[in-house]
Amino acid sequence: MTSGRPESVLRVLLVDDEPLARARLRTLLAGCRHPAAEVAGEAGNAEQAAALLCQQPLDVVFLDIHMPGSNGMAWAHTLRAQQNPPAVVFVTAHAEHAVDAFELAAVDYLTKPVRLGRLQESLQKAERFAQSRRAQAADLASEDVLVIQERNRTERVPLSQVLYFKAELKYLTVRTASRSYIMDGALNDLEQQHGGRFIRIHRNALVARKMVRSLEKHFDADEGEGWAVRLQGVDEKLMVSRRQLPAVRALVSQ
């Protein structure tokens, strides 16, 4: 008796320059359950695979390493930089590449000949990867984010991760614990929109209220002796202007 719950089905792309290898993998995937897999496309090289990915969303790519043209490792590195990439499972006869594969965040590494049991394990890992991606996307959708354009890349940065905004020349530096971004905008606009989350400490800086760790005496080469805040997550100190000092003192004293 079945529970009536719809079975999870992962959409799969097979990438291997050997048609017989793709045919064997397709046959094995047809026997997989919990999750099941639907082969949505096949490619004989990385260029064909990239074109197929542009046409439809896919959950997992089973990827050979040694192929004509761009090899599997190089293409996986390109995939990793894309927004919402599919899970990658390497399938190869060469076990010596396993360490490099996992450094590229592959969810699994299968050696040929592939066995049904190991293939099913790979699908389960790919399903967990897909579920994690969906959960992250839901979290981002439910909170305020900044959409930052950098060169040919667009990135959504949750405001909860921003430590400070700092005006420098014509741009704003957006600082998180892991990196800095550059964006267009005005501090006044950000202060009006997100004043409950950030506090003005200087004419050129807003900092996250919850990340202020301390207020300390500090000497700055440009502004002389004064006060600065130290934030959780970064080592640098940010100067506090005399005008903003009372508000910052009140925040630290809470």
pLDDT at 3 over 50: no
- What pLDDT is attached to residue 222? 72
CA distance 189 to 141: 22
- What pLDDT is attached to residue 227? 94
Q: 145-253 has which fold?
A: OB fold (Dihydrolipoamide Acetyltransferase, E2P) (2.40.50)
Tell me the domain boundaries of the chain.
9-141, 145-253
Place of tokens 């190991």: 118
Give the contacts of 94 (CB within 8 A, at least 6 positions apart): 65, 66, 111
Q: Model pTM greater than 0.95?
A: no
Interval 91-148: pLDDT, tens? 988 777 666 666 666 889 999 899 999 999 999 999 998 888 777 666 555 558 888 8
Q: Which CATH superfamily is domain 9-141 in?
A: Response regulator (3.40.50.2300)
Task: Identify the DSSP state of 106.
Answer: -
Average pLDDT over residues 72-88: 82
pLDDT at 16 over 60: yes
Interval 153-168: pLDDT, tens? 788 888 889 999 999 8
Average pLDDT over residues 76-103: 77
Beta strands 60-63 and 36-43 are unpaired
pLDDT at 51 over 70: yes
Average pLDDT over residues 222-240: 88
- Return mean pLDDT, the chain: 86
What are the DSSP calls for 209-254, one per residue?
GGGEEEEEEEEETTTEEEEEEEETT---EEEE-TTTHHHHHHHHH-
pLDDT at 6 over 50: no
- What pLDDT is attached to residue 162? 94
